[in-house]
Structure 1
Amino acid sequence: MNEFKEGVPTQQGTVRCLEKGVAMPALLTNWKNFCEGTAEFDKSHFLALFHQDYDEEALAQLLRFFDRSDQLIKRISRFRAAWHRRRKRETLLSEIEACALAMKDLVEKSVAFEAFGERDLMALTNRVTPIVTGSVADFEQAAQADWPNREKQVVLGDYFDEKWSVHGPIMDALLEAFYGAANSYDLQWYLGAPLMDTTVDFEHFLRLWEAGYDTALTEVHLLLIRVSD
Structure 2
Amino acid sequence: MSTLLNDWCIFCEGKAYFDKSHFLALFKVHSSLPEITKALSYFPQADSLVLRVNEVIQAGTLEDNLYLCSTIESSDFELLQKAKLWLQAQASFCKALGDDELYRICQRAKLLYGSKDQFNDYDKLAVPSNWVLELVGDQVRDCMLLNTEQEYALFEALYGVAADYYLAWYMGQPLIKLDFDFRSYFDFWRLGGIGYLSKDKFFVCRR
Alignment pair present for 1:69 and 2:49: no
* Counterparts in 2 of 1:212 and 1:53: CA distance versus 1, 3 Å: farther
Query: Which whole-Å CA distance do the structure 2 matches of 1:168 and 1:119 have between them?
Result: 33
Alignment pair present for 1:31 and 2:8: yes
Residue matched to 1:120:
101
C-alpha contact (below 8 Å) 2:114/2:204 kept by paired residues: yes
Alignment pair present for 1:160 and 2:137: no
The correspondence for 2:117, drawn from 133, 136, 139, is: 136
Query: Equivalent residues in 2 for 1:1-229 (5 A)?
Result: 26-52=3-29, 54-84=31-61, 90-134=71-115, 136-137=117-118, 139-227=119-207
Deviation at residue 124 of structure 1 after TM alignment: 1.1
Scaled by the length of structure 2, the TM-score of the pair is 0.88
Q: Relative to structure 2, which stretch is displaced further, 112-121 or 160-169?
A: 112-121
Q: Which AA in structure 2 matches 1:145?
A: L
Deviation at residue 56 of structure 1 after TM alignment: 3.3
Deviation at residue 89 of structure 1 after TM alignment: 6.8
C-alpha contact (below 8 Å) 1:217/1:223 kept by paired residues: yes
Deviation at residue 157 of structure 1 after TM alignment: 1.0
Q: Equivalent residue of 2:111, what SS?
A: strand
* Counterparts in 2 of 1:222 and 1:173: CA distance versus 1, 3 Å: same
C-alpha contact (below 8 Å) 1:53/1:80 kept by paired residues: no
Deviation at residue 224 of structure 1 after TM alignment: 0.9
Deviation at residue 55 of structure 1 after TM alignment: 3.7
C-alpha contact (below 8 Å) 1:112/1:155 kept by paired residues: no
Query: Which whole-Å CA distance do the structure 1 matches of 2:69 and 2:166 have between them?
Result: 21
- 1:32-57 CA-to-partner distances (Å, cap 9, x unmatched) read 11111111100000000010454433
Scaled by the length of structure 1, the TM-score of the pair is 0.80
Query: Which whole-Å CA distance do the structure 1 matches of 2:32 and 2:75 have between them?
Result: 32
C-alpha contact (below 8 Å) 2:30/2:36 kept by paired residues: no
Percent of paired sites with the same residue: 28
* Counterparts in 2 of 1:178 and 1:168: CA distance versus 1, 3 Å: same
Deviation at residue 118 of structure 1 after TM alignment: 1.8
Q: Which AA in structure 2 matches 1:39?
A: A
- In structure 1, the gaps of 5 or more residues are 1-22
Q: Equivalent residue of 1:181, what SS?
A: helix
